[in-house]
C-alpha cells in the first residue's frame, strides 16, 4: 500500500503523522511511504532521517493526496485537504466531527473512508488513540492555567502552590478521565488544592485510590459545579461523551460568579467545549476574557509540545495503522471491533452514531452502522 504523510497545516501544528521510526515499520512490511518535504523538520525529524528510514520525500501535499491509498495525519483535515480526499482512499487521523458540520459535509462529499483516532476503543473501556494526547493536554492544562494566573498574563496573581503561610490556589477539574487524572497529577505536584468532579462513581472510587486522600472527589452535579467553580482559581474542563458534542456544564452564570482573574482551561474544546462561554482558540492567540475570567481554549494543545506528542501518538497509532495497511482497511476493521469503532465516515455515509445525533438534522444525514456499511456499500 502507498501511505502518504502530508505536513500539518493547522495553526502552530508541528506534529507529524509518522516519525521516521514509524516509517521504517511500514517499509519493513513492504509498504511505500511518501512524506511531504519538511513534515517533521520543526521537531527534529529531518527529511534525511525519513529517507534513511525508507520514505520518499515529496514536495507538495497535492501529489501525496492524489496518489496515496492511506493518508496518515494528526489533526482533522482542513477544508483544502478535505477537498483532495477521494473515494477508495483512507484517512487515518483525529476528526472530532460532532462540533464541526463543515468538515463533516466535506468528508461525506469526498466518499473516502475516514477513521477517527478519538473513537477507536480498547477492551478496557478506553480510547487508546486519544489517551496519549489526553495525557499531554491534561498535564499542559495546569501549566497553561498557572501561566495565565500571573498578573501580567491577565490573571489574579495567584501562585497555585502558595507558599508557607499562604494557602495554595484552588483547582477544580470537571471530568476525571485521562485528561482529568493527568491534570490532577500536575496540580498536586505544584502543591495546589485540587477537587475533581465526575459522573461515574466507579471512576471516583479509582481516583480516590490513586490519589490516596490528596485530592477531593465529588459527584458531578449542577450544584457541585456552581459551588466549587465560585471558589476556584483554575477550572479545567475535561469531560467526554465519546464522539459526541461536549455537554455545557459551566454556564455563563457560573463564569459570572467566579473570582476576577481566575482562569478556565477548556480541554474539551475539540468536542465543542464544556463551558458555555468557550470558543476554540489557537496557540498563536490562546486566550480571551469573559466577565473577568481568562479563557484558554486551544483545540490542539499537544501541538504546543509537538515532539513529545508526536512520539506518544505514534506509539499508539502504529499497531492499528499497520493492521490497516497489511490487511487492507475493510478487512482490518471487520476483524477488529475496536478499530471498527473508529470508522466515522464511509463512502458518503456517517457510520458513528454520536455524529449523526449531533449533526444529522442540520446536514440531513442518515446513520448507517459501520459493519453494515463495510459489508454492503
Ligand X SMILES: NC(=O)C1=CN([C@@H]2O[C@H](COP(=O)(O)OP(=O)(O)OC[C@H]3O[C@@H](n4cnc5c(N)ncnc54)[C@H](O)[C@@H]3O)[C@@H](O)[C@H]2O)C=CC1
CB of 94 to ligand CC(=O)C(=O)O, least distance (A): 5
Told to judge if 96 belongs to the known catalytic residues of this protein, a careful annotator would answer yes
| Catalytic one of 31, 96, 254, 295 | 96
Binding residues for Mg ion restricted to 274-303, rule: CB under 5 A: 291-292
Instruction: Tell me the per-residue interface mask from 236 to 275 with Mg ion, x by CB under 5 A, - otherwise.
Output: ----------------------------------------
For ligand X, the binding residues in 29-88 under the rule CB under 6 A are: none
Q: Report, in this order, helix, strand and coil percent for the chain, each rounded to 5.
A: 45, 20, 40
Closest CA to 269 of 114, 96, 140: 96
Instruction: Report how far residue 20's alpha carbon sits from residue 332's, in angstroms, rounded to the nearest whole number.
Output: 24
Q: Would you call 285 a catalytic residue per the annotation?
A: no
Q: What are 242's three cell numbers?
A: 465519546
Residue 270 has what DSSP assignment? Answer: G
Site string for ligand X, 117-156 (x = CB under 6 A): -x--------x--x--xx--x-------------------
What is the number of residues in the chain?
377
**Nearer of residues 42 and 224 to ligand CC(=O)C(=O)O, judged by Cβ:** 42
Q: Are residues 345 and 96 in contact, defined by beta-carbon separation less than 8 angstroms? A: no
Residue 18 annotated as binding?
no
Q: Which residues in 199-262 belong to E strands, given as ranges?
A: 216-219, 234-237
Q: Which does 292 bind (CB under 5 to 8 A by kind): Mg ion, ligand X, ligand CC(=O)C(=O)O, none?
A: Mg ion
**CA atoms of 174 and 155, how far apart (whole Å):** 20
Q: Which does 94 bind (CB under 5 to 8 A by kind): ligand CC(=O)C(=O)O, ligand X, Mg ion, none?
A: ligand CC(=O)C(=O)O
Check the annotation: does 279 bind a ligand.
yes
Which range of residues in 51-59, 192-200, 287-295, 367-375 is near ligand X by CB under 6 A? 192-200
Toward ligand CC(=O)C(=O)O, which CB reaches closer, 114 or 229?
Answer: 114
- What is the H or E stretch that residue 172 is in? strand 170-174
Has 68 been labeled as part of a binding site?
no
Q: How far is the CB of 304 from ligand CC(=O)C(=O)O (least distance, A)?
A: 10
Partner in contact with 267, chosen from ligand CC(=O)C(=O)O, ligand X, Mg ion, none, beta carbon below 5 to 8 Å by kind: ligand X
> How far is residue 80's CA from residue 341's CA, in Å, rounded to a whole number?
26
Q: How far apart are CA 236 and CA 138, in angstroms?
A: 9
Give, as one character, the DSSP assignment of residue 163: B
Please give the full DSSP string across 80-97, using - where no structure is assigned.
Answer: HHHTT--TT-EEEE----
Amino acid at each position: 500500500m502507498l501511505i502518504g504523510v502530508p505536513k500539518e497545516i493547522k495553526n502552530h501544528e508541528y506534529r507529524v503523522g509518522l516519525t521516521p521510526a514509524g516509517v521504517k515499520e511500514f517499509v519493513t512490511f513492504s509498504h511505500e511511504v511518501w512524506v511531504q518535504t519538511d513534515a517533521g523538520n520543526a521537531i527534529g525529524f529531518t527529511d534525511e532521517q525519513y529517507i534513511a528510514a525508507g520514505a520518499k520525500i515529496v514536495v507538495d501535499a497535492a501529489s501525496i493526496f492524489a496518489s496515496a491509498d492511506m493518508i496518515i495525519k494528526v489533526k482533522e483535515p482542513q477544508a483544502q485537504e478535505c477537498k483532495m480526499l477521494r473515494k477508495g482512499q483512507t484517512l487515518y487521523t483525529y476528526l472530532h466531527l460532532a462540533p464541526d458540520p463543515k468538515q463533516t459535509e466535506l468528508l461525506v462529499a469526498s466518499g473516502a473512508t475516514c477513521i477517527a483516532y478519538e473513537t477507536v476503543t480498547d477492551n478496557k473501556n478506553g480510547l487508546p488513540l486519544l489517551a496519549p494526547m489526553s495525557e499531554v493536554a491534561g498535564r499542559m492544562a495546569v501549566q497553561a492555567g498557572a501561566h495565565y494566573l500571573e498578573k501580567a498574563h491577565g490573571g489574579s496573581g495567584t501562585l497555585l502552590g502558595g507558599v508557607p503561610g499562604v494557602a495554595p490556589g484552588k483547582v477544580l477539574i470537571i471530568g476525571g478521565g485521562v485528561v482529568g487524572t493527568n491534570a490532577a497529577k500536575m496540580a498536586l505536584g505544584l502543591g495546589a488544592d485540587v477537587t475533581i468532579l465526575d459522573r461515574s462513581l466507579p471512576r471516583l472510587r479509582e481516583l480516590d485510590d490513586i490519589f490516596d486522600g490528596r485530592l477531593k472527589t465529588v459527584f458531578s452535579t449542577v450544584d457541585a459545579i456552581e459551588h466549587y467553580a465560585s471558589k476556584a482559581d483554575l477550572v479545567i474542563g475535561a469531560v467526554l461523551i465519546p464522539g459526541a458534542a461536549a455537554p455545557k456544564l459551566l454556564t455563563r452564570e457560573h463564569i459570572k460568579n467566579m473570582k476576577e482573574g481566575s482562569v478556565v482551561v477548556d480541554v474539551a474544546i475539540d468536542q465543542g467545549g464544556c463551558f458555555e462561554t468557550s470558543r476554540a482558540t489557537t496557540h498563536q492567540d490562546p486566550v480571551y476574557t469573559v466577565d473577568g475570567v481568562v479563557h484558554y481554549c486551544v483545540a490542539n494543545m499537544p501541538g504546543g509540545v509537538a515532539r513529545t506528542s508526536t512520539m506518544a501518538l505514534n506509539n499508539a497509532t502504529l499497531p492499528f495503522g499497520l493492521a490497516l495497511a497489511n490487511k487492507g482497511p475493510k478487512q482490518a476493521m471487520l476483524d477488529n471491533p475496536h478499530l471498527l469503532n473508529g470508522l466515522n465516515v464511509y463512502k458518503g455515509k456517517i457510520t458513528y452514531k454520536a455524529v449523526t445525533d449531533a449533526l444529522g438534522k442540520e446536514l440531513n444525514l442518515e446513520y448507517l452502522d459501520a459493519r453494515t456499511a463495510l459489508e454492503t456499500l
